[in-house]
Amino acid sequence: MAQAVVIGAGPAGLMAAEELAGAGHNVLVAEAKPSVARKFLMAGKSGLNLTKDEPFDRLISAYGDAADWLHPMIAAFDAQSVQSWARDLGQDLFTGSTGRVFPKSKKASPLLRAWLARLDEMRVEIRTRWRWLGWDGPALVFDTPEGRQKVVADVTVLALGGSSWARLGSDGAWAPALAEAGVPLVPFAPSNAALSVEWSPHMAAHFGQALKSVRWRAGDLASRGEAVISDKGLEGGGLYPLTPALRQGADLYVDLVPDRTIHDLSRRLSTAGPKTTLTRWLKNGLRLPPPKIALFHEMTHGQNLRRDDWVKTLKALPVRNAGLRPLDEAISTAGGVARSGLDSGLMLIAKPGVFCAGEMLDWEAPTGGYLLTACLATGRWAGRSAAEWAGPSQAD
């Protein structure tokens, strides 16, 4: 029976622990924070989106450049598997009109309580306030309330998160220890991030209001979904899928009337009287809501648009911005442990017997259930690979 150590008690780490314990190994889970799965619980406050119930080819395509790498892992634990797993933990689920899957309670805490109870029955030991510092020879070194502790593990799974939401545990502080061990790392970058916009004073009246029924475009990426006007800029599910292009400095455009064609808009404009002002046409002719009208004026201020330009600008309004919000404000991160540093079982080539899972791996995906699905799938994959590497338990 091997001594397995899982470092990080988020979804990926807990899934790896479950797999290792299920294979008959002693499992210790070390978590730096005072309680487990803090980011998981925070994400669940607005409704825990477990996965996206859609055909597998569409599901896997959401992972972009990492799709071929993650393919076998997510195929082994896909959207249907996620739902079955949650139901086995006593959670009733429902699927929304967009395919997003939620617990009927909409909360993360009942699922987490049931999961922790199962792990307790499997004799998984969880120690909180145990911050991993790196290695001292073969031993894992931890800073704990009882002082510095060393643990020699037969097999280790690292599930340390990315580098956003540091207050919840994902602070990227693990990177130097892996770099020192010769593990190739890709620099962290924000993913699913809000956009900084320096608004003029008149936009303050619209802070907190949503831009609905719009279509966004940046580079080769496009997304239809709402965004909220905040005092710092723009944020929301409509923008998050465009983060990869925005990180590269692509210009952002928004179609404020995606359900109306240029021909239809031109026809409507032609029926407006010659003295009709732009504001009157937007408000009375198109009946646009105030946030859209305000954004249109904000982004065209000082341009003195000709009447002939109104339609094309409505369909492709340039959104001036100051780039993505800081890394720690992002929902998730790109970057982390490079694919080249791992074998097919997610074991570090530079550290045999050490496996990685979850957001610390260099992949990214939009919100909508894709993040959690991949964390669970890679945690399960790493846990199973670790159990296989450790060999059969004495019970076997």
The pLDDT tens digits for 344-383 are 999 999 999 999 999 999 999 989 899 999 999 999 999 9
Domain assignment of residue 339, yes or no: yes
Shared domain check, 261 and 177: no
Shared domain check, 172 and 229: no
The two structure tokens encoding residue 357: 């899972």
Shared domain check, 61 and 112: yes
Shared domain check, 370 and 254: no
Domain assignment of residue 46, yes or no: yes
Domain assignment of residue 325, yes or no: no
Pairing of strands 131-136, 139-144: antiparallel
Shared domain check, 210 and 182: no
- Angle in degrees, 0-180, between the axes of helices 79-88 and 370-390, rounded to the nearest 10: 80
* C-alpha span between 374 and 216 (Å, rounded): 25
Shared domain check, 199 and 183: no
The residue-averaged pLDDT of 185-196 equals 96
* pLDDT at 396 > cutoff 90: no
Shared domain check, 338 and 283: no
Q: Is-contact 13 377, C-beta < 8 A?
A: no
The residue-averaged pLDDT of 245-251 equals 95
Containing structural domain, residue 213: 195-318
Shared domain check, 269 and 248: yes
Domain assignment of residue 281, yes or no: yes
Last residue of a domain, one of 293, 318, 343: 318
Give residue 365's pLDDT.
Answer: 92
The two structure tokens encoding residue 298: 């904000």
Give residue 119's pLDDT.
Answer: 98
Domain assignment of residue 323, yes or no: no
* C-alpha span between 306 and 169 (Å, rounded): 52
- Angle in degrees, 0-180, between the axes of helices 370-390 and 11-22, rounded to the nearest 10: 30
Last residue of a domain, one of 275, 293, 318: 318
Shared domain check, 305 and 338: no
Domain assignment of residue 324, yes or no: no
Shared domain check, 128 and 217: no
Per-residue confidence at 6, pLDDT binned at 50, 70, 90? very high
| Model-wide pTM > 0.75 | yes
Q: How many domains does the chain have?
A: 2
Pairing of strands 210-211, 227-229: antiparallel
Last residue of a domain, one of 318, 350, 375: 318
* C-alpha span between 375 and 357 (Å, rounded): 7
Domain assignment of residue 395, yes or no: no
Q: pLDDT tens across 133-147, in order? A: 999 999 999 999 999
Shared domain check, 314 and 205: yes
Report the CATH number at residue 164: 3.50.50.60
Domain assignment of residue 148, yes or no: yes
Pairing of strands 26-31, 125-128: parallel
Q: pLDDT tens across 306-331, in order? A: 999 999 999 999 999 999 999 999 99
Shared domain check, 168 and 117: yes
